[in-house]
Structure 1
């Protein structure tokens, strides 16, 4: 998930927020200011409740950031690069560039987040208890007690045994250590996550229909999110299994006819039609260096007038929007980008374009390696 607003970086890790964070801040603030705080510390003004509620939501987002940052720091300790941390509606996400190198690392990366949440719960709880014992600032101790409770619930919830929750990662690490089979562990954790999500959806639905409690909708929402995320985990596990040890050079195809940035579309289309059909075509600069690519889909959507007036420079995907690969890169990493963007990747060796990988090429490679190793898709 890409952040809507970048906040900066911590320890060299980019941190951002998705627009949905502002929705959860509004919902949390409204609940705190109109229900939780007035019930725990009656007698205050609406303005004071809203000010404290805003401060509490900011501290809550800070505790979510600490949760994800803990994952990221432990991952970097084991040599795993972290792309970014993004906070969003249902929590946060630390995006890792690759998987932990062994089961122990996988376990410690998974546990780091819940332990950080438990630590935050302990700190907020101790502060709330101290204020309560002194008998001063009842509004402050109620707010801190709420933060302690929410962080404790967050830690426990994340330890449910199903991917993509942290508990699912713990399950994956344990199965990986036990069986020595990372792919089996990932598939099992993903399936467990889907079971957990279905149970959550059922529980939330019963809460709404049987108890007439609209709060069950949050459980349904979380369940649906986890269900889709679990399906994505299963797909990712299948991908890793099929592409284990496969290099980019094993899947790339020689580039079809190439165009130049100054070439008019009508002229290029006439040249391309005389060669084998392709999903995408590379675009070169006047010196023959890669400058992007153009897809058959985008060319077909242009009007005849546009094909006459425009050049390939006008309609290409520039190089900075594409993934550039080396022929010796692991195909698994490139595959995730191809499947997410549906855009081909350029394969460049020492500045020279030597191949392309399209979604069609990727799917063919996955199917062929599955067949050659005698595996049926799981």
Structure 2
């Protein structure tokens, strides 16, 4: 999360702010500053305009945080690990390790966010009627905003809550994978319609449509990969008898190995134990005479032969790496790469298509 900053920890959940959030904060502050009631503070004095415009823009994302916290707390109730909440230009996202495949649980988690937004909207509306001046406008803006957030998130399109609500209903009548594919296709169709309207009327709607389309595509991809790769253990598809290097070898020798074997990374082994990994990125612009021990990465992510192939895929995707050493009893027993996983997926898809053609 290099492009984000951890700003707080609530209920054990790390809260991150992405740099893009500051763009929308400036935009919202300016919008509230120049707009009249009920969408801004232009009718107030200069000091009040600045004060309320700034804090109204902050409260918008505080409300988004409460929306995501509601998702997270319900998810944690079901045993889901929440790695954090990210606030960014399009809102927020609760980073959960895995969404439950139980339709009832997924429905509860998905509806928690919109329910929290509706509650904030209702309370804000009551407070706007009980106050006056800038305070009343502040709460009225909150009421409008949270109502829009709740309704927008119930649109049946990934990655919004409505996409998960739709899947939870469909998953009661069909497989989880089929439910995801239908929900993702509905989301893509909605994104295309939004994109067309956005192209002619509102550039922000076009950007949101792109976000929705990519989110739906990614959700379908992840669930499809899980369905395929969860059938296999890492030990079933890893490459055993791994070609490794030692810490005392030189960068020049590593370059020669890369040319010879066409691999871009090698485990570093000393006395039978994995001590690091060296990749092409590690040796770029480095003198050929330097030792591997000087340039290798020591904090190596590993996996065991008994873990599922999908777990390997998740680690590689989250950490943006291309390979994982396979370790058992502190000893290197193999290596698994992103290419191995993609080839397995292609082979299984071809086999499934062939079987479908024969049966039809």
Could you tell me the TM-score, scaled by structure 1's length? 0.86
1:291 aligned residue (266, 275, 281)? 275
1:365 aligned residue (337, 340, 344)? 344
Mapped pair 1:262 → 2:262? no
2:303: which partner in 1?
A: 325
1:96: which partner in 2?
A: 96
CA contact 2:70–2:113 (8 Å) conserved in 1: yes
Distance 2:79 2:192 in 1: 35
Q: Give the SS at the match of 1:325.
A: coil
CA contact 1:2–1:18 (8 Å) conserved in 2: no
Q: RMSD of the TM alignment (CA)?
A: 2.4
1:203: which partner in 2?
A: 197
Cα distance per residue 1:261-284 (max 9 Å; x no partner):
33212234556777x553421013
CA contact 1:78–1:101 (8 Å) conserved in 2: no
Distance 1:376 1:84 in 2: 42
2:24: which partner in 1?
A: 24
Q: Give the SS at the match of 1:328.
A: coil
Mapped pair 1:250 → 2:230? no
Q: Give the SS at the match of 1:355.
A: strand
Distance 1:188 1:236 in 2: 14
Distance 1:119 1:280 in 2: 52
2:133: which partner in 1?
A: 138
CA contact 2:34–2:40 (8 Å) conserved in 1: no
1:210: which partner in 2?
A: none
Judging changes above 3 Å, is the alpha-carbon distance between structure 1 residues 11 and 376 closer, same or farther for their aligned structure 2 residues? farther
Deviation at 1:101, TM superposition (A): 3.7
Q: How does 1:1-378 map to 2 (within 5 A)?
A: 4-37=4-37, 43-131=43-131, 137-179=132-174, 181-207=175-201, 216-269=202-255, 277-284=262-269, 286-295=270-279, 297-298=280-281, 302=284, 306-319=286-299, 322-339=300-317, 341-374=320-353
Deviation at 1:42, TM superposition (A): 5.7
Q: Give the SS at the match of 2:156.
A: coil
Judging changes above 3 Å, is the alpha-carbon distance between structure 1 residues 361 and 41 closer, same or farther for their aligned structure 2 residues? closer
Deviation at 1:203, TM superposition (A): 1.4
Deviation at 1:375, TM superposition (A): 7.0
Q: Give the SS at the match of 1:116.
A: helix
Deviation at 1:183, TM superposition (A): 0.6
Q: Give the SS at the match of 1:178.
A: coil
CA contact 1:2–1:86 (8 Å) conserved in 2: no
CA contact 1:248–1:330 (8 Å) conserved in 2: yes
CA contact 2:80–2:100 (8 Å) conserved in 1: yes
Judging changes above 3 Å, is the alpha-carbon distance between structure 1 residues 260 and 96 closer, same or farther for their aligned structure 2 residues? same
Deviation at 1:39, TM superposition (A): 7.2
Distance 1:344 1:333 in 2: 13
Distance 1:375 1:2 in 2: 44
Distance 1:86 1:254 in 2: 39
Deviation at 1:173, TM superposition (A): 0.7
Number of positions where the alignment pairs a residue of Structure 1 with one of Structure 2? 355
Q: Please, which runs of 5 or more residues in structure 2 have no aligned partner?
A: none
CA contact 1:261–1:313 (8 Å) conserved in 2: yes
CA contact 2:41–2:49 (8 Å) conserved in 1: no
Q: Please, which runs of 5 or more residues in structure 1 have no aligned partner?
A: 132-136, 208-215
Could you tell me the TM-score, scaled by structure 2's length? 0.90
Deviation at 1:372, TM superposition (A): 4.5
Judging changes above 3 Å, is the alpha-carbon distance between structure 1 residues 279 and 308 closer, same or farther for their aligned structure 2 residues? closer
Cα distance per residue 1:220-255 (max 9 Å; x no partner):
111111112222122223212222322222221125
